[in-house]
Structure 1
Amino acid sequence: MHPPPAGRRRPRHTAPLDIAALPELTRAHHQHRRAARHPAFTTALTWAATITTRWYDHHQHLTDRWHTRLTRLTTTNPHTQHGPASPTLTCRTLITYPETLTLAATLTRIPPHGLTPNAQARFLHHLADQLEINHLTPATHDPLWTRIHTR
């Protein structure tokens, strides 16, 4: 198979993203730099990314916020709407970035021996406050449930 002629190639990233309409992304980047100093942050970030990806893909907990953010991003960056994949998929990590970092920073507070049932309830209440949502009750198939029940 031969590559297409140079004039027909479509580079994957044709323009930088303008995130001026999304100041929460800049704040999240600064939060990431601070939180990365915590020894448990890398593992917590992996868990958090898994959790927020699941929530995003299954339209759980933060759907309205993420839809609004995606709309602002694609309105400001119309080039994201062209190409073989939807910005809903290609921009997922960026759209969930602030909540992923908030979740990761909160997950670093789980002690190595795990959480008691009372501590789990307090943790979920605290996390809901941090994410600015009314309540958080993960189902047993939610990776957050798995993480807080892991010892």
Structure 2
Amino acid sequence: MKGIWCFILVIVIVSCKKEKEYTVEDIQIINGYWQISDVLYPDGSEKKYSLSGTIDYIKLDSLKGYRKKMYPQLDGTYLTSDDAQNFYIVKKASKGFFINYHNELTSWQESIIYLEPNKFYLESAEGIVYRYKRFEPINIYEDGKTSE
């Protein structure tokens, strides 16, 4: 019986753990090149992306920026179109930071739920979680050596 109460106490303590609160400075981490690693759906299913021909370039200045699809090339360069999705980030009291997108056709919002220098997670209003990892290009020179 004593063991059960200890187990319940541990569960209560773990479930009450406060989530990390990010700052405006922390949000600047999302600047740069990112590739999607996997998507988690509300029903528990998951889709992994081992290789993708596109990556996202995110440029953030203060709390405004844009996101652009890039196509990495083997020589270390990128192809892209002139299309960019503008966004702005807002902080909602005790709910964290949200990325707000708007274009001529629609608008939507994603919540930043996890953030560290080499990965971040976004959650859509539908409960879909997108996991990103920092993109590391493979640069192959004509002599067959790769860049460091």
| TM-score (norm: length of structure 1) | 0.23
Structure with higher helix content: 1
Larger radius of gyration: 2
TM-score by length of 2: 0.23
Which has more strand, going by share of residues?
Answer: 2
